[in-house]
Chains A and B, each alone.
Chain A
Amino acid sequence: MSPLTILFFIYIFAGPGKIVFAIGGGLIAVIVGSCIVLETEAAFMRLVSKLQDMFVSSPISPATYVIGMSIGQLCNGLAGIVLFSVLLAVYVHLTILGSLAVASAAIITWASISALGFMISTFARDVRDLWVYSPLLNVVLAFLPPVFYPISYIPAAVRFVAYLAPTTYPAQIIQQVAGVGGSTQDMIPLDLGGGVLYALILIALAAKLARWRQS
């Protein structure tokens, strides 16, 4: 509901001209909100139901397990993803390349946030430890970075800080496809590369630090 709320407020207070930021941001935020819950779900499977133990002691690989769980979580946000995708298609005249770029942005968001969520879950000793983190991370990843607003709002001297958030790259891609925010479509490959690299780093970190087999 939060992304829709943001969409509403941006439309009312910033005007129709800024609605594309709300829609693009909403798409990212819905994916973040769906995938970051993986930290709690994975911790629940490990600590409460103990079903992760059954899967560890089976032929399934940790990658398959995590991908399966994260796709499951993504399904929770399917309605929002479809809604914001439709709105994006309505308000932005997407070309085939543009659609591919938006889809890539969505996939980058899904992969990086799922990896982050799973990595965090493996350090929890109690599911209650994580109840605080999901909403906090949701704000830190979806609302603080330039996901709902152009990056040009951030002073140039500290703009690099925005790129510490994995959601900045896919948000920039969507804004560039829509032709808003100041940067041009020439920047899309750069942000795509940055987003993919960031996602790969998070996946590698998750694979290394995640405690599939504990020591």
Chain B
Amino acid sequence: MSNEPQLERSSGLVNDAVVLKITNLQKTYGRSTRALNGVDLDVGRGTVFGLLGPNGAGKTTLVRIVSTQLLPSGGSATLAGYDVVREAKAVRQRIAIVPQEGRPLLLQTPYEHIVTYLVSRGLDYRDARVRAVKTLESLNLTAYRNVICGNLSGGLRQRVLIAMAMSSDAEVLVLDEPTIGLDPVARVEVWNLIRSYVAAGRTILLTTHYMDEAEELSDSLAIINKGRVIAKGSPGEIRKRLNATHTVIIKTSQSDISEFEPFGRTLRAGTGVRVLTSQEKATELASRCLGKNLEVSIRPSSLEDVFISEVGEWTETEPTATR
């Protein structure tokens, strides 16, 4: 692990350039299903923008509109200055997407996938072959170049799709839940690919419901629930919304949790309780819990706590004392 101090990432507007601008975006399916309810977002050029939310929050709907697969019901979105509805052709020149739960064709090799994709994007066949080889090298897939995808693991198949998209050198790469279903090692490999792509000056719009992934990769992110953005900014800025630095997780089945409220904002979570508080009070609370033989742990507050405090379905009680 590096000994360098962890630099706080800014809100993500590198070079003060917004490559994707979403204004009051709305989408209604049928007559009453509102998937997006007025979303406003700015994605900075050369950054990873994370879209975090539970299943059904509207993440995939949003990326499908941005990537010109779906028409919105209202609002607007522009990518590199081009409207995604009226100027879809221009937008499509500048984006590539890895869809959620996509799969490569099992009887084709990674090399064939990339060449086909590049040729379909207008690249000359010879250039496509050269670029395919380079892409396979940079993504450590050379060893699997001529192996049919049916004989590859799930993680490698996902890397094939990512390789296809990255080979295009698109200005904006849209990754819809790229690590879903992957083991921890494969996930880290995908994370490294994402970092390398952004390091080359490209922009990535990433949707995920993995907190650690959003926190690890995103220069800025938005938490979305039921079609609305409930928090946005850098991970650090979002964590500050909690007004707490630490989270105490207590395993208890007792129904009355009011005894924890003086220590901070108390949320019931599954079989236990979470208390969002300062470091000092966290230590005090943990000692008290240990005295009662309760299973307790302390960790720094994370996006997960923001998520649960804003979105969670758990019973929530407000603190009775000021912190």
Q: Which A residues have a C-beta under 8 Å from some C-beta of B?
A: 48-51, 53-60, 64-65, 68, 213-215
A48/B97 contact (C-beta < 8 A), A54-B165, A213-B70 known = no
| Complex CA distance for A214 and B104, rounded to whole angstroms | 22
Quick check: which of B16-24, B88-96, B185-193, B265-273 contacts chain A, the rest being far away? B88-96
| Most chain A CB atoms below 10 A, which of B95, B120, B122 | B120
Separation in Å of the B233 CB from the closest CB of chain A? 27
Q: Is the CB of B120 within 8 A of A57?
A: no
Q: How far is the CB of B148 from the nearest CB of chain A, in Å?
A: 14
Interface size on B, residues (CB 8 A): 30
A60-B164 Cα distance, complex, nearest whole Å: 15
A55→B67 contact, CB < 8 A? no
B residues within 8 Å of A by Cβ? 64, 67-71, 88-89, 92-93, 95-105, 117, 120-122, 161, 164-165, 168, 174
Q: How far is the CB of B85 from chain A (nearest CB, A)?
A: 9
Instruction: Decide: A54 and B102 in contact? CB cutoff 8 A.
Output: yes
- In the bound assembly, the distance between CA atoms of A57 and B100 in angstroms comes to 14
A-B contact pairs, 27 of them (CB 8 A): A49-B102, A49-B103, A49-B104, A49-B105, A50-B99, A50-B101, A51-B104, A53-B69, A53-B99, A53-B102, A54-B97, A54-B98, A54-B99, A54-B161, A54-B164, A55-B120, A56-B92, A57-B69, A57-B95, A57-B97, A58-B95, A58-B96, A58-B121, A60-B121, A214-B69, A214-B71, A215-B71
**Across the interface, do B103 and A48 meet the contact criterion of CB distance under 8 Å?**
yes
Given A49-B105, A59-B122, A213-B88, check contact A54 B71 (CB 8 Å).
no
Given A59-B93, A213-B88, A214-B69, 14 further pairs, Cβ under 8 A: A49-B103, A49-B105, A53-B69, A53-B99, A54-B97, A54-B99, A54-B165, A56-B68, A56-B92, A58-B121, A59-B92, A60-B121, A214-B71, A215-B70
Question: Given contacts A64-B120, A214-B69, A215-B71, are A58 and B105 in contact (CB under 8 A)?
Answer: no
Contacting residues, chain B, for A56 (C-beta < 8 A):
67-69, 92
Q: Which residue of B lies closest to A64 (CB)?
A: B120
Given contacts A48-B103, A49-B103, contact A57 B92 (CB under 8 A): yes
A212 → chain B, closest Cβ, in Å?
Answer: 9
| Number of CB contacts from chain A to chain B under 8 A | 71
Q: Is A53 within 8 A of B120, CB to CB?
A: no
Contacts of A213 in B (CB 8 A): 68-71, 88
CB distance from B208 to the nearest CB of A (A): 17
Contacts of B168 in A (CB 8 A): 58
A-chain residues with CB within 8 Å of residue B64 when the two chains form the complex: 53, 214
> When chains A and B are docked, how far (Å) is the Cα of A64 from the Cα of B71?
22
Residues of B within 8 A of A214 (CB): 64, 69-71
A31, chain B: closest CB distance, angstroms? 24
Q: A57 near B103 (CB under 8 angstroms)?
A: no
Give the distance in Å from the alpha carbon of A215 to the alpha carbon of B69 in the complex.
Answer: 9
Given contacts A213-B68, A213-B70, A215-B71, contact A58 B92 (CB under 8 A): yes
Residues of B contacting A65 in the complex (Cβ-Cβ under 8 angstroms): 120
Q: Give the interface centre of A54, A68, A213 by most chain B CB atoms within 10 Å.
A: A54
A59:B121 contact, CB within 8 angstroms: yes
Measured in the bound complex, the distance between the Cα atoms of B161 and A42 in whole Å is 18
How many Å from the CB of B181 to the closest CB on chain A? 13
Given that A213-B71, A214-B70 are known contacts, is A51 also in contact with B121, CB under 8 Å in the complex?
no
Q: Which residue of A lies closest to B93 (CB)?
A: A59
Closest CB in chain A relative to B30 CB, distance in Å: 12
